[in-house]
Amino acid sequence: MSKVENLDKILDQFGPHLHDEPYGGWQADRVIDKVVPTHCPYCAVQCGMNLLVEKGHVVGFEPRYDFPVNEGKLCPKGVTAYLQAHHPDRLEYPLIKRNGMFERASWAEALDLVASKFVELQKKYGRDSLALYSGSSLTTEKTYVMGKFARVGLGTRYVDYNGGGGQQQGIRCRSRRKPLERHSARRGFVDRWGKCRGDLPDTQ
């Protein structure tokens, strides 16, 4: 028996829902009514891609040949990015856990709760009781704001994210402590395949 209360209900509500299919199932001969140029959101390379839309649903993708970063290529991870648009596990609004179950909340309510917990923790354990962990798909500007929020807003020394190499050095805390986390997409490829993804064939 599971030790997590209401596990079945939680799984049903939030997943993981495995083997989810795009709207209308897997089809090769779709009638696309809209093409939306955008970027892959999965890592900081931000490769250009077009989302293929049918009746208001994202049903496919194609790499952008006009985009100088990827020139018509996407890595094995990026080719699945479009599937998250309508995935049932996607979190689209704040949730607050009450009586063992997550309930939908307004943004104002969720942010007030988070801010009050930040204040409570820092009063009790000091400024460095909070660490800020960001993401490698952020742009340079967002990363800068994240660093400012950590150092000026929260006043903590601890800020990090899962990017690799130079980007990570750019945001990591100034205390010269080790980064909180060294994992990165590149690291994942090296661990799994023994190679950096740059050495692997791209999907065209």
Q: Please give the helix or strand (H or E) that residue 36 lies within, else none.
A: strand 34-39
Question: Is residue 166 within a helix (H) or strand (E), and if so which, with residue range?
Answer: helix 165-171
Note whether 150 binds ligand SF4 by CB under 6 A: no
CB atoms within 10 A of CB 113: 13
Shortest distance in whole angstroms from residue 7 CB to ligand SF4:
32
Find tokens 């599937």 and name the residue.
83
Span interacting with ligand SF4, options 12-20, 35-43, 52-60, 102-110, rule CB under 6 A: 35-43
43 near ligand SF4, judged by CB under 6 A: yes
> Distance between CA atoms of 76 and 72, rounded to whole angstroms?
13
Candidate residues 15, 38, 45, 145; the one interacting with ligand SF4 per rule CB under 6 A: 45
Rule CB under 6 A: say whether 147 interacts with ligand SF4: no
Distances (CA, A) of 96 to 26, 111, 118, 172: 35, 11, 16, 30
Site string for ligand SF4, 60-99 (x = CB under 6 A): ----------x---xx-xx---------------------
The site for ligand SF4 (CB under 6 A) is made up of 40, 42-43, 45-47, 70, 74-75, 77-78
